[in-house]
Amino acid sequence: MFIRQLRYLIALAREHHFARAAAACHVSQPTLSSGLHKLECELGVRIIERAQQFRGFTPEGERVLAWAQRILADWEALVQDVSESSDGLQGTVRLGVVPAALPAVGVLVEEFYARHPATHVLIQQMSSRSIEQRLAEFELDAGLTYLDNEPLKDVIARPLYREHYVFLTAVEGPWNGVRCVSWREAADVPLCLLSQDMQMRRILDAAFRSAGAVPGIVVEANSFIALYSLVRHGPWSSVFRIPF
């Protein structure tokens, strides 16, 4: 029961709503509320700010939540270790991926699945900051993100590939045939770039600053497909980082 109560608590922290947390745990709302109340009784502290709607956790509740995330992660690791020794690795592997790394996912998952065919892989596109947060909260098993510029903390990191910069522009435009474009030249044309919540954009901003250039950004998007479309159909160019 204790592990189930911890699952209820973590689901409530994720959903910020009693009914949605109960649905995520596949139980009724009274069952979830009862389980959380029993957890409070067992620990002797009030965990949740009581109201008709979820209002947050008490200071003690925040500490309990942090412990719950660690305990549940250890419990799941124990279950995996035992099952792997007898039947091979099983369960769901949760992988967070920044948009720029999505093309590399197929190669990685193919090799992983070949070694562990009994697993189920859940791939979620998200920002580098979301990956860092959800790794810290044990809501992801691994992340595919950048190691430079904003390195992750408290994780085991393995470099997979390197990237280089490319200037993306229309074939029929004035840059046709040009093999090299400086940062200052790129900054002087109308640009469409990723939005500032994307780490690649922050890396590009740092590169422009290092060159003493201020880019003329006209359009921003948090989608690579949108940027490709803008370059193809509009008067804009863009700057990407792609694998070697």
Contacts 24+ apart (CB under 8 A), 141-145: 141/93, 141/94, 141/95, 142/93, 142/94, 142/95, 142/96, 143/95, 143/96, 143/97, 144/95, 144/96, 144/97, 144/98, 144/101, 144/104, 144/105, 144/108, 145/96, 145/97, 145/98, 145/101, 145/199
Q: How far is CA 64 from CA 5, 19, 31, in A?
A: 11, 21, 20
238 shares its domain with 200: yes
> Which of 136, 160, 184 finishes a domain?
160
78 belongs to a structural domain: no
Three-state secondary structure call for residue 124: strand
Q: How many CB atoms lie within 10 A of CB 26?
A: 7
65 shares its domain with 2: yes
Query: Is pTM, for the whole model, over 0.75?
Result: no
Tell me, what CATH number does 116's domain have?
Answer: 3.40.190.10
198 belongs to a structural domain: yes
Domain range enclosing 68: 1-73
pLDDT for position 51: 66
135 shares its domain with 176: no
176 shares its domain with 155: no
Nearest to 64 by CA among 82, 89, 45: 45
140 belongs to a structural domain: yes
68 shares its domain with 99: no
169 shares its domain with 128: no
Contacts 24+ apart (CB under 8 A), 155-163: 160/104, 160/108, 161/104, 161/243, 161/244, 162/243, 162/244, 163/100, 163/241, 163/242, 163/243, 163/244
Write the single-letter amino acid at 226.
A
pLDDT for position 119: 85
81 belongs to a structural domain: no
51 belongs to a structural domain: yes
79 belongs to a structural domain: no
> Which of 160, 184, 212 finishes a domain?
160
Owner of token pair 């810290």: 136
31 shares its domain with 102: no
155 shares its domain with 212: no
Query: pLDDT tens digits for the chain (244 residues)?
Result: 688 888 888 888 888 888 888 888 888 888 888 888 888 888 889 898 876 678 888 999 899 988 888 888 888 777 777 666 556 677 788 999 988 888 889 888 898 888 888 888 999 998 888 898 888 877 888 999 988 767 777 788 888 888 889 999 988 888 888 889 999 999 999 999 999 888 889 999 999 999 999 999 999 998 889 999 999 998 999 998 888 6
**Domains: count for the chain:** 3
Tell me, what CATH number does 15's domain have?
Answer: 1.10.10.10
**The two three-digit tokens of residue 115, written as one number:** 């070694």
